[in-house]
Amino acid sequence: MEHLSLASPAGIVLSLDAVLILLLALACLGSKLFDRYLTYYGLQSMLLAVAAGTAAYVEREPALWVLAGLTLVLKGVAIPEAARRLLVRRLQLKRDVVTIVGPSTSLILGAILAGFAYLVIGPQHLAQGLISASIIPISTAVILIGALAMVLRRHMVAQLLGWLIMENGVFLGGITLTASFPFIVEAGIFFDVVACFLIMLAMTTGLAESLVALSDRGRREPT
């Protein structure tokens, strides 16, 4: 994968895919409805599964097919669906109002961060004509946008989604660039992510049930 050319069919698919993933991250940042966050995240994870599938096809690596399948089923369907049923519907969440800035400002900040990712990575310094020059800056931008969503949003569910987007950004870089990454490690990371999601889910529910304001903004530090 490291030597995959940008102009090959697989390279074109991957680049397109990565751009769509970036756009979905931005869409998430610009939206205010919880239901939509989850839809965007699910779509983004499916695109990630496509990227993993492409990598598996190019590398002819059966383990990567497994990873693509897991991504599709767990991240694309199970996690968004679980979050929708257990959080959004049960807690009757509709609009995310506890944000520091509005959606349009968030989008501008996100765009600036995407530009910043290109500035930091400097694709012009990377080997020209290879897939890495297009993927590394995009996955960095997705990580930064996810982090931005976590910082700007005070609602726990929104923070959770921000983290999941960050994780997708890391996986995009991980799967496509380092397809030779040992499978045991990939799988371990994957299950850590799932476990972390489950813990966050349990805590969100626990906190909501103890009738605390879901925002931690008004929380004062005990001295």
Partner 1 sequence: MIALPIGAAMAPLLGTIAGLLTARARLAGMLAVAGGILCLILTATTAALVMAGRPIQSAGSLVYVDGLGSFFALTIAVVILLSSLGSLSYLAVEQRHGTLSPRRVRVYFAVFGVFATGMMGSVETANLGLLFILVEAATLASVVLVPIEGRTSGLEAGWRYVVVSSMGITMALAGTLFVFYAATGLPGSPQDHLTWAFLVRHADSLDAVSLRLGFLLAVVGYGTKVGLVPMHTWLPDAHSEAPSPASAMLSGALLNVGMYAIIRFIAIANGRFGPAYASHVLLVFGFLSVLVGALFMVRRRDFKRLFAYSSVEHMGIIAIGLGFGGLLGVYGALLHALNHSIGKCLLFLTGGSVVLAYGTRRSDHIGGVLTSLPLTGATFLIGSLAILGSPPFGLFISEFTIVRAGFAATYPALVGLFLLLLVVIFLGFFRTTSGMTLGPAEPRVTSPYVGRLERWTAHAPVLLGLGAILLLGLWVPGWLNDLLLRSVALVR
Instruction: Provide the binding-site residues for partner 1, judged by CB under 8 A.
Output: 2, 120-122, 125-126, 132, 140, 143, 147, 150, 156, 159-160, 163, 166-167, 169-170, 173-174, 177-178, 180-182, 184-186, 188-189, 192, 195-196, 199-200, 203-204, 206-207, 210, 212, 216, 219, 221-223
Q: Which is nearer to partner 1, 104 or 131 (CB)?
A: 131
Q: Which is nearer to partner 1, 33 or 120 (CB)?
A: 120
The whole-angstrom separation of Cα 51 and Cα 15 is 9
Class of residue 12 by CB neighbours under 10 A (exposed 0-12, middle 13-18, buried 19+): middle
Closest CA to 80 of 143, 138, 24: 24
CB of 132 to partner 1, least distance (A): 8
Q: Which is nearer to partner 1, 104 or 125 (CB)?
A: 125
Burial string for 61-92 (b: 16+ CB within 10 Å, else e) reads bebbbbbbebbbebbbebbbeebbeebbeeee
Q: Which is nearer to partner 1, 15 or 168 (CB)?
A: 168
CB of 126 to partner 1, least distance (A): 8
CB of 12 to partner 1, least distance (A): 22
What does the chain come to in residues?
A: 223
DSSP state of 211: T
CB of 200 to partner 1, least distance (A): 6
Q: Which is nearer to partner 1, 47 or 117 (CB)?
A: 117
The whole-angstrom separation of Cα 163 and Cα 148 is 10
Chain position carrying tokens 């012009």: 124
CB of 174 to partner 1, least distance (A): 5
The whole-angstrom separation of Cα 15 and Cα 81 is 28
